Amino acid sequence: MLELIADTASSMHNLGKKLASLLKARDVLYLDGDLGVGKTTLVQGIAQGLNYEGLVTSPTFTIMNIYPTNPEIYHYDFYRLEIEDLDDLGLTDYVEQDGITIIEWPKLDSDLLPEDALIVTISLLDDDYDRARKVVFTAVGERYQPLLEELKD
């Protein structure tokens, strides 16, 4: 586990860029945290880190955005879904492709999603949106532990 503090939206963005340099095809990230903590901001940093110049917007309504980076990014948002909906969406078709899968509002209890993943939990400090964010990285599976070590440096 690794705990970092992002003082501003810009440092969250930079954290995303740093993370991007460590990610590989088929990596899976789960982004957990309340509304407005900076999940999409982190994804914007990751996409920019992979040289994407287009818009990275919240996929809350579209459920999924694809960014044509190398590797591709599949950016999901399960905010509006119930756990039983995952089965119906064909999401696993993409998770098995050669892209990076990033899921906001993941349904971590679902057995349809890969267990091995980097779980990123973002939270407010003292319940105050004006303050910094706490970002906790949890590695599940062999692939992600070394990634945490690299992220520390």
Residues 93-132 touching another protein, rule: CB under 8 A, are 127-130
CB of 80 to another protein, least distance (A): 4
Measured CA to CA, the distance from residue 91 to residue 10 in angstroms comes to 31
13 backbone dihedrals φ, ψ, rounded to 5° = -60, -45
What is the amino acid identity at position 135? V
Q: Select 2 or 64, whichever has its Cβ closest to another protein.
A: 64
What is the amino acid identity at position 8? T
29 pairs with which residues across the strands?
Answer: 102, 118
CB of 145 to another protein, least distance (A): 32
Q: Select 89 or 140, whichever has its Cβ closest to another protein.
A: 89
Half-sphere exposure of 50 (CA within 13 A, CB side): 24
Which chain residues interact with another protein by CB under 8 A? 35-36, 40-41, 44, 54-55, 57-58, 60-68, 79-82, 84-85, 87-90, 127-130
